[in-house]
Amino acid sequence: MPARINPSILAADFVNMERDLGKIASADLVHVDVMDNHFVPNLTFGPQMVGRIQDVSAIPLDVHLMITDPERWAPGYAELGAYSVTFHAEAATDPVGLARRLRSMGARAGIALKPGTPADDYLDLLEEFDQVLVMTVEPGFGGQSFMPETMPKLRQLRSAATARGLDLWLQVDGGITEETIVTAARAGADTFVAGSSVFRADDPARQISLLRETADL
Ligand code: DX5
Ligand code: ZN
């Protein structure tokens, strides 16, 4: 299975979203960052906008919820057809219950860990999730630098998933470029979110191919 490349539309032009979606037609999934100005100090959009993106996108959506109270809001994104819905471990009161609910609605369930959140509490629960998102920057903004100190956590998750024979996607998000993607791939990531490196490239489609090929080396 080649590396999955999920461009983050946080780096797209919000008033030309449909045009910018056209630039990433070769992506595996479209990464959609929902921020509430509470869990993170930044605000993007909510279900109404994500619903319209879902309507016009030919590619399935990978929704990353950087919000408080995901129990209240996450099921709504599954209902509007998101392919995967990822909520933050730090914000959830019942991560397993929420993941089960998302799966029962037909979405892939993901759990995200901020750079300072250890994976230890979740290692015995990995069967409950389809993907784990290891944040490689502090969530909230695009264009930050990759934090290599998060790699031991990724390795820990990969070995736990391999030991139990799980088909768990391990996603990294933040500061992914053609350089840092090598580090993350070697540590066990198979799904890569890239905002600025795709949308700031002269040719986003070429950048997606370059990232995919580099991660597979
Ligand atoms: C950050 C978001 C990321 C962001 C990544 O909080 O979750 O998805 O868009 O942007 P880059 O690739 O520019 O670091
Ligand atoms: Zn994200």
Contact 132, 171 (CB under 8 A): yes
Q: What's the rounded Cα separation, in Å, for the pair 182 and 189?
A: 10
> Phi first, then psi: what are they for 95, rounded to 5°?
-60, -40
**Model confidence over 24-65: pLDDT tens digits?**
999 999 999 999 999 999 999 999 999 999 999 999 999 999
- Number of domains within the chain: 1
195 lines ligand 1 (CB under 6 A): yes
pLDDT at 1: 72
Task: Please identify, by atom number, the ligand 1 atom nearest to the C-alpha of residue 138.
Answer: 6
Which residue range(s) make up the domain with 101? Answer: 4-215
Q: Which residues pair with 43 in a beta bridge?
A: 36
Per residue in 61-118, pLDDT (tens digit) is: 999 999 999 999 999 999 999 999 999 999 999 999 999 999 999 999 999 999 999 9
Q: In the prediction, which pLDDT does 82 show? A: 98
28, 130, 173, 190: the active-site residue: 173
| Domain at 157, CATH number | 3.20.20.70
Q: Is there a binding annotation on residue 84?
A: no
Annotation marks residue 120 as catalytic = no
Q: Higher confidence at residue 1 or residue 196? A: 196
Distances from the Cα of 101 to the Cαs of 34, 163, 166, in angstroms?
19, 26, 20
Q: Which of 150, 193, 198, 211 to mutate to test the pocket of ligand 1 (most atoms within 8 A of CB)?
A: 193
- Mean model confidence pLDDT for the chain: 98
**33 marked ligand binding residue:** yes
33 in active site: yes
The mean per-residue pLDDT over the stretch 161-173 comes to: 98
Contacts of 127 (CB under 8 A, 6+ apart): 164, 166
Question: What's the 193 CA to ligand 2 centre distance in angstroms?
Answer: 7
Considering every ligand atom shown, identify the ligand nearest to the alpha carbon of residue 142 and give its number.
1
CA distance 6 to 49: 19
| Strand partners of residue 88 | 112
Helices (H), 24-137: 47-56, 70-79, 95-104
22 is in an annotated binding site: no
Q: What confidence tens digit (pLDDT) does each residue in 115-131 have? A: 999 999 999 999 999 99
Ligand 2 mean position to 159 CA, how many Å? 24
Give Cβ neighbours of residue 202 (< 8 Å, ≥ 6 apart): none
Confidence at residue 190, expressed as pLDDT on a 0 to 100 scale: 98
